[in-house]
Each structure stands twice: as C-alpha cells, then as structure tokens.
C-alpha cells in the first residue's frame, strides 16, 4: 500500500512539473537579457558564429521554422552553413534557396548523394569562417537570444573553448516542455550520457584541430566530437550557461521524443567512448541501464587495494549484526577489514556479539571510550589502520549488490577521484541517498530523496555514474592518503552532523572530483541506531553545526556545480525553482 502511495505521489509531481514549466516561462524577467545586452554592446570583442546545419529528409515546415529562428537572432555576428545531404524532396532545396537568396549570411551546399551526417557536417564546417561554430539540427529551434548569451559568455570567459546551454523540447504545435536544467561540466556524467547535447558551441580551431566529424560514428557523431575536444582542453575552458537557449523538436521517430527511436545511437556512443579511452585499453565500456547511457568500468589492476571499513556503533545489537553479516556474506571483494569502533556499548547482547566477531579474520573491534563524536570516532579509527582505502560505513546499512565494494574501489583508486558514494535505499525501497545537493534547505539535501527505487530520476541521473559536490558518509570510500591530506573529519566543530559534507567539500577544494555510483547499492535504516534529531539539545547542536557550515563555505552552499540555479533549493526532487532574474 505504501509503495502505491509513493508511486502516486511521484506521478503527481511529474504532472505538476509540466504545468510549472509553463508558469515558470511566464514569469521570466528580461532584466538578465538587458544586462547581457549591455555587456555585449560595451565590449570590443565581437565573436562571429558559424552555425552548422546538416539537412536530410526534414519536414520542410520545420526547416523553415529553424531558419527563421536563426534569422531572428538578437546578436548579428553570424553565418549559417547549411548542407543538404541528398534529400529527395525538392521542397527542401527550394526552401534553402529561398532563404539564401534573401540573406547574404546563408551559405549552402546542395548535394545529390547521401553520404551521412558526419560527411554533411564536415561540408558545413568547410563553409565556416567564424571564430566559433554552433551545432543546430535541421528541425530544431534556436532561442532568439541564443547567440547573444553565447557572445556574453565568451566575453566573460575569453579562454573558453566549449560552451553549452540548457535546453527544452518543442512539439509540432510549438509548445515548449521538458526543460533540461543541466549541471556545470560534469566529466563522469558525460561519460555516462551525453548530457551536454544542445546547444553546444566550439572554438572553430579546436574542432578543425581534432579533424572535424568522424565518419563511422553516425548517430553519436556529436558525442564523439565532444569527447575528442574535451581531451584537448582544460575543464575550466568549458563554460555552462544555465539558460534554456535551444528547443529540441519532439516528433515521431525523433530521439527527443523517445530514446529508442534510433537504436544505433547507443552502439555509436559506446564506440565513441572506446575511442576516447584508446590510450587506456583496460577501461571497458558497457551499455548503461537505459538507452543512450553507458557504464564506464575502471579496472583494478594487480592485487586488490586494502580497504578498512570503519563501522562506529553503540549497542544496537540487531542492526549491527545485520550490517556485519551482510558485508561478510554479500561482498565479492576480498581485501578488506571491518573495523568496528565500540563507543561505550552497555547492552549485554551487543558486548557478547562484539567479543564473538573480534575473533573473525576480517574484523577488528576497538574501543572508543568518550562521548559520541562521529567525526572523532572515524578519525580515531583511521589513525589505527594503514589500509590504502578508508570506508566510512554506518552500522545501520545493509548490503544489496555483491559487487558494491568492487565498484566503489574501482573509482576510489582513480587518481582524480576523491570521495565515492553509493546508492542507498530506505527499507520501503525509496531513495535515501543518490548524491548530495548543496543549498537545499539552506545547507544540503539528498538528490532524489524518496523517489521509487525503479525510477530513472531527473534526466536519468538515478541510473548514471556522475560527480557530486558531496556524498553521504553513511557509505563513503576514499583513499587514506586523501583523508589525511585534508585533515579528516572536523571533530571540533562538526561532531555529529554535516561533517561528511564538509569533508567532501575539503576534498573537492583539494582538486579531486567526488563521485556517486548507482552500481553500489545498500539499504540505509537512517539513524536507527543513534536516533533522530528530536530533542531540544540535539536540535540546538544541529543548528549550531548548520551555522558553522554556512559561515565556513558561504556562497558555495548556494552554487552547486552539480546542480542548476533554475532548480529548487526547497525540495530534493529536481523540481523547477523560482525564476532567476
């Protein structure tokens, strides 16, 4: 019954999302546009954009709508490079000729033979003389200020090489819906899905330098181009504009309407990733859980790194036993040790159990005879071990997937990765943790909290490996060296709550990417052993810790690069927030 109620609530929220977007569009202010216009008009930098449009068998009416959206751009420094790739419909050529005759900014090639979208895109590229190229599909629509905002971004970030924006879908009647409010550059999310998609703008010499569009990658030729380009630049040269500046046409047979419409695209995406990792052949690529998604599998070469799983506990025999038994019976990974930190247990059953398991080969029981301080307990345990990796594991977790530790270790040993988090469920099979979003409720919240287990989440993010600013300490893996490098958990100011988020932010500040994976699954009986924040003393302590976080991290808590400023900071379900001015 409860699952049915959760499902009904979830579906109702999806309905309101669609309705809310129309309201959100109606409330948009033009103050941001005025600021952008002023910045662009005041600058001596005037980037020229070459808009590449390969055409093949498009509805001529949609083609005209696309052309009109280019001609109506509020920024004037552009050229349109349009190539028809052997369409049999004479009306397509007629439309292109008509618009080219009326505008000196339109350049075209009308081919008689169909050679594929990569070839057509390269022909478009051969016509380009702009500083930047912009990719536009033949039936999609540019927002009238798309180029204006791109120019503004370039002026503000003159070293930028790739710029991308948010997007939505547009139906055959022209109604806008399904906005995709994207995160800032998120490398591991990009490896899982081409979330960048539309609108994308590249420095022209970057695209030319990597050889343009490769034939043999049709269906994911834009993904292949993007992967080759990002390998040549620094992440700080990739700029995200959190504005919906592209309208993706959703019609029968289009990928915008249904991902399965073009089945070959997933295979082409896998091929693109294999080529991306050609210098690291040990990395393998699998189909993801959904069409056009991927799982990049990082190898554990040689002997397995040692892992110390630190499990603080006080009494709670039943929940502790469940946690330990599940780790021992359901973990394929072998080179680990469980360090149970007993924080003044007095329950006879718990003490007897601790004595029993202390004889197990994979378990070490240590005493921490001080008042409860989550941060200090874990720091204490880390000092006692010399393992390569540290795992923070709550005693109220329960392993589901047997490869959970293999999966987490494979990411934690990557030199650019810091903290690795798992996918956690409540006992009712709804999401407890799928990454941490900064700014929710003024400090932080869990992404997709209470979503049904089987749902894909906001643009499939519940099914994709990706970077987050923070992950929960209920199940977190990190290199011991990194743990010590950033000073461990803050046992002075964050004794109980939020120390895991603070720790992740310190790791991120040290230059590492934190990561969450849906391929490591556990149940989390949240605070079942310690209890909720339900007394005046606990609430006062929690409020003090929240204030400390706000003072320490400031605006970082309200500008999460793994989120989007157009999304809510009141809820954890990725619904639309208040319009930004």
Task: Give the domains, in start order, of the chain with CATH numbers.
Answer: 33-258 (3.90.550.10), 307-558 (3.90.550.60)
Structure confidence at residue 7 (pLDDT): 52
Q: Which of 162, 303, 175, 295 is nearest to 236 (CA)?
A: 162
In whole angstroms, give the CA distance from residue 476 to residue 412.
Answer: 10
Report pLDDT digits (tens) over 259-298: 555 578 999 999 999 999 999 999 999 999 999 999 999 9
Give the DSSP per-residue string, 496-557. Answer: SSSHHHHHHHHHHHTTPEEEEEEEEEEEE-TTTTT--S-SHHHHHHHHHHHHHHHHHHGGGG
In whole angstroms, give the CA distance from residue 205 to residue 562.
Answer: 29
Structure confidence at residue 47 (pLDDT): 98
Angle at the Cα of 170 (from 164 to 176), degrees rounded to 5? 90
In angstroms, how far is CA 429 from the centroid of its own chain?
A: 22
Q: What is the CA radius of gyration of the chain?
A: 26
Structure confidence at residue 575 (pLDDT): 94
Structure confidence at residue 211 (pLDDT): 97
Structure confidence at residue 15 (pLDDT): 44
* Contact present, 250 and 139 (Cβ < 8 Å): no
Binned average pLDDT, 10 residues per bin, the chain of 581 residues: 48 55 86 94 97 96 97 98 94 95 96 94 98 97 98 97 97 92 98 97 98 96 98 98 96 56 84 96 96 96 96 96 97 98 96 96 97 97 98 97 97 98 97 97 95 96 98 98 98 96 98 98 77 74 94 94 96 85 39
Q: Is the backbone peptide bond immediately before 422 cis, with ω within 30 degrees of 0? A: no
In whole angstroms, give the CA distance from residue 213 to residue 221.
Answer: 6
Structure confidence at residue 254 (pLDDT): 53
Report the relative pairing of strands 49-55 and 132-135 from DSSP bridges. parallel
Structure confidence at residue 288 (pLDDT): 97
* Contact present, 51 and 136 (Cβ < 8 Å): yes
Structure confidence at residue 255 (pLDDT): 56
């Amino acid at each position: 019954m409860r699952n049915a109620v959760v499902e009904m609530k979830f579906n109702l929220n999806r309905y309101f999302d669609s309705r809310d977007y129309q309201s959100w569009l109606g409330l948009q202010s033009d103050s941001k546009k005025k600021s952008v216009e002023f910045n662009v008009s005041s600058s001596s930098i005037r980037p020229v954009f070459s808009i590449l449009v390969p055409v093949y068998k498009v509805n001529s009416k949609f083609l005209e709508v696309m052309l009109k959206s280019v001609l109506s751009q509020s920024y004037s420094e552009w050229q349109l490079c349009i190539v028809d790739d052997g369409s049999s419909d004479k009306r397509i050529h007629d439309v292109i000729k008509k618009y080219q005759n009326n505008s000196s900014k339109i350049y075209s090639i009308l081919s008689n033979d169909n050679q594929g979208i990569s070839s057509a895109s390269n022909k478009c590229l051969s016509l380009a003389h702009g500083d930047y190229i912009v990719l536009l599909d033949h039936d999609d629509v540019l927002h009238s200020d798309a180029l204006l905002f791109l120019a503004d971004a370039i002026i503000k970030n003159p070293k930028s090489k790739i710029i991308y924006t948010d997007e939505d879908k547009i139906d055959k009647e022209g109604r806008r819906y399904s906005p995709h409010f994207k995160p800032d550059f998120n490398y591991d999310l990009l490896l899982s899905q081409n979330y960048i998609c539309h609108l994308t703008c590249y420095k022209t010499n970057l695209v030319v330098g990597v050889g343009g569009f490769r034939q043999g990658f049709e269906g994911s030729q834009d993904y292949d181009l993007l992967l080759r380009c990002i390998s040549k630049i620094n992440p700080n040269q990739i700029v995200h504009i959190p504005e919906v500046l592209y309208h993706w046409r959703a019609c029968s047979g289009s990928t915008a309407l249904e991902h399965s419409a073009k089945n070959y695209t997933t295979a082409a995406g896998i091929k693109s990733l294999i080529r991306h990792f050609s210098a690291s052949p040990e990395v393998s690529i699998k189909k993801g859980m959904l069409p056009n998604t991927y799982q990049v599998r990082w190898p554990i070469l040689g002997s397995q790194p040692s892992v110390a799983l630190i499990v603080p506990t006080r009494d709670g025999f039943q929940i502790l036993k469940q946690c330990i038994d599940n780790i021992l019976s359901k973990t394929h990974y072998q080179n680990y040790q469980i360090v149970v930190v007993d924080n003044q247990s007095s329950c006879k059953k718990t003490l007897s159990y601790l004595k029993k398991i202390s004889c197990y080969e994979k378990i070490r029981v240590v005493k921490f005879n001080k008042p409860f301080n989550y941060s200090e307990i874990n720091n204490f345990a880390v000092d006692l071990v010399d393992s390569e990796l540290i795992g923070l594991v709550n005693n109220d977790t329960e392993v589901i997937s047997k490869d959970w530790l293999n999966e987490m270790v494979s990411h934690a040993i990557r030199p650019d990765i810091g903290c690795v988090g798992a996918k956690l469920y409540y006992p009712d099979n709804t999401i407890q943790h799928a990454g941490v979003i900064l700014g929710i409720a003024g400090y932080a919240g869990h992404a997709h909290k209470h979503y049904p287990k089987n749902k894909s989440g906001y643009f499939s993010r519940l099914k994709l490996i990706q970077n987050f600013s923070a992950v929960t300490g209920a199940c977190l893996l990190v290199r011991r060296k990194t743990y010590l490098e950033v000073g461990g958990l803050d046992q002075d100011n964050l004794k109980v709550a939020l120390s895991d988020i603070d720790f992740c932010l310190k790791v991120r500040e040290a230059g590492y990417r934190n990561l969450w994976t849906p391929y490591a699954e556990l149940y989390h009986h949240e605070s079942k052993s310690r209890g909720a924040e339900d007394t005046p003393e606990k609430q006062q302590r929690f409020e003090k810790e929240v204030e400390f976080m706000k003072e320490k991290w400031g605006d970082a808590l309200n500008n999460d690069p793994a989120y989007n400023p157009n999304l809510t900071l009141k809820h954890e379900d990725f619904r639309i927030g208040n319009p930004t001015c």
